[in-house]
Amino acid sequence: MRISVLVPYNPSSEHWDKMLARTQDEWNRQIARDAGDLDIEVVVGVQRTPGAMRVAECVNRAAAAAGGDVFALWGADHWPDVRRLRWTAEVMERTGTAWQPMFQHTAILTRARTEQILAGRAEATEERATWSDSVPMCIGIFAVRREAFEDVGGEDERFVGWGMEDAALREALDVLHGTPPEGPDYGAVLLSMWHPVQHHDDDNAKRNVEIYTDEYLAAGRDPVAMRAVLDKARDWRSRAG
């Protein structure tokens, strides 16, 4: 199995540039140390459209350049975890699932620990004293087989800013390719670095929620209705160029 880690990126500030550079170095270090016989590449999808972050556009650009048969969606602010990728590969090979959640929780590192990490004086760890918050969910970080990702048309680029594009992709995969038979173990924690800009760009939040609820959730468990939603997304993308 070859896993392509897809990292969406909008070069918007020096802090984000530092996070991307630091995590790229850490990916390289962990791949050399922990990958074993698992083939892993990291592909950064850099945004072309100016303005607010467009995660879906960036993910799709990364996927188009990727060579793996499995995609792992990640973030530039998320600490690499090659051992979790190995766990994911084992589960996907054993169960044959088309997509697989990887984490059960997200822990936000403190500003102080993040600055130490970016300065090269520390690493991200599961030491709770270095967390500022913990969220009991991790929607956007999961793995998906290339053929399933391509079957649903990738991420829906009508979503602008952060938010709901990942939930929409999961909904489409769940309806058309089934629910993963196994979830991540309860203690699986994704470590996320602090950053000064709010994680979600709220300018388009209302529209994003409308697309998700009025189209993806409204399709229910009906594959035909979900295909119609995805066709609409593909048509928008082709017209947008």
Q: 226 in the Ramachandran plot: left (φ > 0), alpha (ψ -120 to 50) or beta?
A: alpha
How much is the pTM? 0.94
Count of domains forming the chain: 1
Lowest average pLDDT, out of 39-53, 173-187, 199-213, goes to 199-213
Is the pLDDT assigned to residue 17 strictly greater than 60? yes
- Each residue's pLDDT tens digit, 104-126: 989 999 999 999 999 999 888 88
- Each residue's pLDDT tens digit, 59-94: 999 999 999 999 999 999 999 999 999 999 999 999
Is the pLDDT assigned to residue 202 strictly greater than 70? no
* Residue with the larger pLDDT of the pair 16 and 223: 223
- Give strand ranges (E) for the chain: 2-9, 39-46, 70-73, 99-101, 105-109, 131-135, 142-145, 189-192
Sequence-distant contacts of 205-214: CB under 8 A, at least 24 apart: 205/161, 205/163, 207/160, 208/159, 208/160, 208/161, 208/163, 208/164, 208/165, 209/163, 209/164, 211/156, 211/158, 211/159, 211/164, 211/168, 212/159, 212/164, 212/167, 212/168, 212/171
Per-residue pLDDT at 139: 81
In the numeric block, the tokens 């070069």 are attached to 11
User: Looking at residue 103, which CATH number applies to its domain?
Assistant: 3.90.550
| Banded pLDDT at 45 (limits 50, 70, 90) | very high
- Give the range of the structural domain holding residue 27, as residue numbers without chain letter: 2-240
Q: What percent of the chain has pLDDT over 90?
A: 74
